[in-house]
A and B are shown apart, each in its own frame.
Chain A
Amino acid sequence: MSPHTVSSPKNRPKYYDLNLRNLPTPGLVSIFHRITGVAMFLFLIPMALFILQTTLSSEAGFASWKGYFAHPLVKLIVVGFVWSFMHHLFAGVRYLLIDLHIGIAKAPAQSSARVVLVAGLVATAVFAARIW
């Protein structure tokens, strides 16, 4: 192992503020980007594959998933993952724009973060209205 992997022996003070209300909007977008990404990795990837498999394998499998999706609790979970997906997507597009040096000043970065939060919620609301 190289000496670079050994961490600094100095105990520097750490100031953690885990209260999300004190986080600036770009920080909120960032932490939600991370949480939604992990949630989709853990649950959405295997579930999506499983659903794709059963809905394509037979008419009965398709019908049974149609039945599950009619259940209010399942709808709520689906809406949760739709928000995860939409937030992750909009936040990702924002990062792509920032990579292209679009909106990197403080004021546009803050307003684009607000746009991402609102767009994710609006897209989710439109979806929820459609399935209810």
Chain B
Amino acid sequence: MKNSKQPVGAHYGWKDWMIQRVTAAVMLVYSVLILGFFLVHGTVAFADWKQLFQSQLVRILSLLFFFAVFYHAWIGVRDVLMDYIKPFFIRLSLQVAVCLFLIVCSIWTVSILWSN
């Protein structure tokens, strides 16, 4: 690369812009894998579905996927709020609400994946 800026410094690049793209790549790979599972199985029965998520590897990959979704959603929705919501306290409240909602979703996801 002829550009001098390499986005690997502590406070450069490895931030929202890069996270948005890395999480996107994670979601893309997982989506292709899940699509493959459905294409291989045709119609999925409860037993197949249950068995899939009993695998520790699938649970970990699924958690990685969902964390990628939540972080990606946080950056995206925050940017949208920054574009359209100008009053300070409304924007702050909505951002806090989004953030808390996604944290709750993260905890919920862990409980779903490891409780069956």
Contacts and interface: CB of A to CB of B under 8 A. Distances in A.
B49 A49 contact: no
Interface in A36-69: 37-38, 40-41, 45-46, 49, 52-53, 55-57, 59, 62-63
B89 to A, nearest CB: 13
A89 B31 contact: yes
B28 interface: yes
Interface stretch (A21-29, A73-81, A91-99, A108-116): A91-99
Given A55-B49, A62-B49, A37 B76 contact: yes
A49 B108 contact: yes
Nearest to B45: A62
Interface in A93-128: 93, 96, 99
B77 A41 contact: yes
Interface string B48-68: 011001000000000000100
Nearest to A52: B112
A56 B50 contact: yes
A35 to B, nearest CB: 10
A92 B80 CA distance: 16
A62 B52 CA distance: 14
B95 interface: no
B116 interface: yes
Contacts of B50: 56
Contacts of A57: 116
Given A56-B49, A59-B46, A34 B112 contact: no
B21 A96 contact: yes
B80 A89 contact: no
B49 A45 contact: no
Interface of A: 34, 37-38, 40-41, 45-46, 49, 52-53, 55-57, 59, 62-63, 89, 92-93, 96, 99
13 contacts: A34-B80, A37-B80, A38-B76, A38-B80, A40-B73, A41-B98, A46-B105, A49-B112, A53-B112, A56-B53, A62-B49, A89-B31, A92-B28
Given A38-B77, A45-B70, A92-B24, 14 more contacts: A37-B76, A37-B80, A40-B73, A41-B76, A45-B69, A49-B105, A52-B112, A53-B108, A59-B46, A62-B46, A89-B28, A89-B31, A92-B28, A93-B28
